[in-house]
Chain A
Amino acid sequence: MSYLKESLSEFWASKVSKLGIIFLLVVIAVSIFTVATMPLDYGTRYWSNPRYWVENPKLAKPSWVNYFSTEKLLEHAVLPSEFSIPQFSGQYYLKNYFMNYELKVNQFPTFIMLRLENLTYYKSPPTVKLFIERPDNKTINLYTLNVEKPLSEEEPPFVRYADEPKRILLSGETTIAYALSSFLLTEYNLSTNPSEVMKMGYEKIIFGTLVNGSFQPLKGMYHIKVVLSSVDGRDNLGKVAFVVGGMIFGLMGTDSLGRDLFQGLLFGFPVALLIGFTTSVITTVIGAALGIVSGYVGGLVDDFIQRTADIINNFPQLPLLILLTFIFGGKLWIIMLVLVAFGWPSLTIILRSMVLSIKNAPFVESAVSMGASRLRIMLRHIFPQVAPYILSQMIFYTPSAILAEAGLSFLGLGDPSMPTWGQILEYGFKNGAVYLGYWWWILPPGILIVFSAVTFVLLALGLEPVVNPKLRRWR
């Protein structure tokens, strides 16, 4: 179709459209990547599942901030070990798991955690002990875990921590307070009770030295030893990991639940596209069909459609949305439904007036004189004239839908199970990200919302010279 070629070349001619196409390709590429690499139920399975994020540091900044500051922030470290060195010490079979950690910066870890996976034992439950050897060669016997007894109906071998690893947040364990209390006594001759120890912060004690009344981080190599002590040599611990909580994490940092914001933001791409595109396509189809029918058929049909459109246009959209959210709970399809229901009238009203003038064109009259049915005239003669406008409206409506969803989520009316940019923004605001300066939490989603909206606006602007001349004359 040479009109298509002409239109495409005019569209391509402006820098605005080129930029818009580049942005769009970026959005599409990221969305494809996301859909390919992440599961579709990511929202309910992972994002809304706090246990999935438990090993991540909370409110960690993105890793790359270290490139911009001389004072480096502590990296997050997950130190696994599957390899154990067996030992036999008289009565007990020991399996030793070794992990090394080097503290390079002048900061304390934010938390420490021990993860045990796949424990099997045959007779009586083993114990798991955790030792940390500091760079100054002092060793702390930090923690002891007595594995749960077998249940009455269980048969050996007894398997523990296989479906779900056991994670012990050492930073919250009260027993550690006792271990550290005695450490403080032996080391600094400091007499403390466990609650005072907890107030001081375990990480400071474990990873620091007391200098002039306050703890200073002790840099150097730490050796972490986890010992499985059992009566049966077959007892085994599949995997052990020691987590040292850092202050930076991943490409985009974490939120207050420790959720990897990079994943959340990534997931937001296809969701934004889906919401934007689907909503605008449905809205446009409905609005265009009603507009063309209203304009061409006229009469009562026209009156009815126009009055309906007027009423909807003047209806308060937000209270209705709040009501529906209250009844059905915050769901994505409700938002889309409301956006569609309130979006079609404006297109209908404008198209109707365009159709009214096209209706009188001689080539339409010619079709009537041939005996063409009204449907044929609307599809074959009227629609092609308004199609460019409809297309540009569709593209223009997409950012509105994206922004609307973001806005609704921001107001708390969104779907919290789904990590959309609006949702991330909302959660950040709710947790005081603005006042507390968690910029990595709220700036990226904000920028991405603007970016996606701008992409479509640029495309719509690029389409304008194609659409406009066709509006003026039927050439």
Chain B
Amino acid sequence: MSAIIELINIKTYFYITKGFFKTLAVKAVDGVSLTIHKGETLALVGESGSGKTTLGRTALKLVEPISGKIIFEGRDITHVKKDLKEFRKKAQMVFQDPFTSLNPYMTVRQIIEEPMIIHGYPADERERRVLKALSDVRLLPAEEFLPKYPHMLSGGQRQRVGIARAIVLEPTFLVADEPVSMIDASSRAEILYVLKDLQKKYAMGIMYITHDIATANYFSDTIGVMYLGKIVEYGPTKEVIGSPLHPYTKALIEAVPDPDPENRFRERNVIPGEPPSPINPPLGCRFNTRCPFVFEKCKEKEPQLVDVGRKHLVACHLHQ
């Protein structure tokens, strides 16, 4: 199976200046490797500060990593700056906020046409592709949607326009950054099914970034759980969710509300505290400040990702 994108030990830091001489490094992504193959959906699950969004942006070269490699369709594009036109055609992004991800002054037609105008497609080709993209995302009849402005559409429709814009050039790699977290619960599945269909149609690799492990469960093939800039558990979705090994993964699963009337009589098992700041990650295992199973080694040595079988990797001293 061909790998569409390979990230090797990516580190993305942001620098903020505090005062005259002090510069602090926000270690948003601190050493992450992953591979996404054709037709595969990898879910990156994590909370705020996990670095998942930054990793997605790094993969699309919207932000430069300070070290590591990005290999796209076999080509090392880590340091390529000028010759990115092909890459920009084939690697696209779907954004989280349906309100701010579309230019309010452009019609649906103009929004979807834009990638084609930038890459110099002729007018008749553009027309054909716009209609095809709208029908791909099931916004029909397509002609009716073309002259509309974003504020005339519902959140779900706007999000689908965003998807149409992303797939109009038939990309091979799609980064979907929380594409349904700002959509009503009753419309989420529709959008994810549209993405799934498109993935099959165009044989795309999708990086699905989310904080909601429940949607990752049915939408992704592989899952990577991120905490404070690192992947703490990685593997086939059913495997990881069926038998979670890392305490953080277990906590995330436990925290998902399920519709059970008995819930109100018992308190959930929760881990205390909140994710620390990526400016000064804890020494040793980053999760040690909140882990219910913490012991001495966790505070000293950082655990590495280890394969425990069935392609299931986990970075935890309990499983080394």
**Which B142-196 residues sit within 8 Å CB-CB of chain A?**
149, 151-152, 162, 165
Which of A46-54, A97-105, A360-368 is found at the contact surface with chain B?
A360-368
Say yes or no for A369: interface residue by CB 8 A criterion.
yes
Output the least CB separation between A378 and chain B (Å). 13
**Which A338-368 residues sit within 8 Å CB-CB of chain B?**
361-363, 365-368
Contact (Cβ within 8 A) A370 B114: yes
Say yes or no for A472: interface residue by CB 8 A criterion.
no
Say yes or no for A435: interface residue by CB 8 A criterion.
no
- CB-CB under 8 A from A2, the residues of chain B are 149, 152
Contact (Cβ within 8 A) A370 B115: yes
Q: Can you name the residue of chain B whose Cβ is closest to the Cβ of A381?
A: B103
Say yes or no for B60: interface residue by CB 8 A criterion.
yes
Compute how far the CA of A2 lies from the CA of B108 in the bound complex, rounded to whole angstroms. Answer: 13
Q: Which of B89, B96, B101, B152 contacts A371 (CB 8 A)?
A: B89
Contact (Cβ within 8 A) B165 A366: yes
Say yes or no for B95: interface residue by CB 8 A criterion.
yes
Contact (Cβ within 8 A) B104 A369: no
- CB-CB under 8 A from A363, the residues of chain B are 95, 100-103
Say yes or no for A326: interface residue by CB 8 A criterion.
no
Total interface residues on A, CB under 8 Å, equals 22
Q: Which of B85, B101, B106, B115 contacts A362 (CB 8 A)?
A: B101
Say yes or no for A3: interface residue by CB 8 A criterion.
yes
Output the least CB separation between B198 and chain A (Å). 17
Compute how far the CA of A141 lies from the CA of B219 in the bound complex, rounded to whole angstroms. Answer: 116
Compute how far the CA of A362 lies from the CA of B60 in the bound complex, rounded to whole angstroms. Answer: 14
Say yes or no for A311: interface residue by CB 8 A criterion.
no
Contact (Cβ within 8 A) A3 B105: yes
Q: From known contacts A2-B149, A361-B100, A380-B103, infer whether A369 and B118 are also in contact, taking CB-CB under 8 Å.
A: no
Compute how far the CA of A368 lies from the CA of B103 in the bound complex, rounded to whole angstroms. Answer: 13
**Which A61-109 residues sit within 8 Å CB-CB of chain B?**
none
Say yes or no for B238: interface residue by CB 8 A criterion.
no
Compute how far the CA of A372 lies from the CA of B84 in the bound complex, rounded to whole angstroms. Answer: 11
Compute how far the CA of A465 lies from the CA of B123 in the bound complex, rounded to whole angstroms. Answer: 38
Q: From known contacts A362-B97, A384-B105, A474-B104, infer whether A368 and B151 are also in contact, taking CB-CB under 8 Å.
A: no
Most B CB atoms within 10 A — which of A376, A381, A474?
A474
Against A, the Cβ 8 Å flags (1 = close, 0 = not) of B78-110 are: 000000110011011101110111111110000
Q: Which of B85, B93, B104, B151 contacts A366 (CB 8 A)?
A: B93
Say yes or no for A199: interface residue by CB 8 A criterion.
no
Q: From known contacts A381-B103, A384-B105, A475-B151, infer whether A370 and B97 are also in contact, taking CB-CB under 8 Å.
A: no
Most A CB atoms within 10 A — which of B85, B95, B119?
B95
Compute how far the CA of A475 lies from the CA of B119 in the bound complex, rounded to whole angstroms. Answer: 27
Compute how far the CA of A380 lies from the CA of B105 in the bound complex, rounded to whole angstroms. Answer: 9
Contact (Cβ within 8 A) A3 B114: no
Contact (Cβ within 8 A) A362 B96: yes
Contact (Cβ within 8 A) A474 B114: no
Compute how far the CA of A473 lies from the CA of B151 in the bound complex, rounded to whole angstroms. Answer: 12
Contact (Cβ within 8 A) B118 A366: no
- CB-CB under 8 A from A385, the residues of chain B are 105
Compute how far the CA of A475 lies from the CA of B118 in the bound complex, rounded to whole angstroms. Answer: 24
A residues touching B (Cβ–Cβ < 8 Å)?
2-3, 361-363, 365-373, 376, 380-381, 384-385, 473-475
B residues touching A (Cβ–Cβ < 8 Å)?
60, 62, 84-85, 88-89, 91-93, 95-97, 99-106, 114-115, 118-119, 149, 151-152, 162, 165
A sample of 20 inter-chain contacts (CB < 8 A) reads: A2-B152, A3-B104, A362-B97, A363-B95, A363-B103, A365-B62, A369-B92, A369-B93, A371-B88, A371-B89, A371-B118, A371-B119, A372-B118, A380-B106, A385-B105, A473-B99, A474-B99, A474-B100, A474-B103, A475-B99
Known: A361-B100, A372-B118. 10 other contacts (CB 8 A): A362-B100, A362-B101, A363-B101, A366-B93, A367-B114, A373-B118, A381-B103, A384-B105, A474-B104, A475-B99
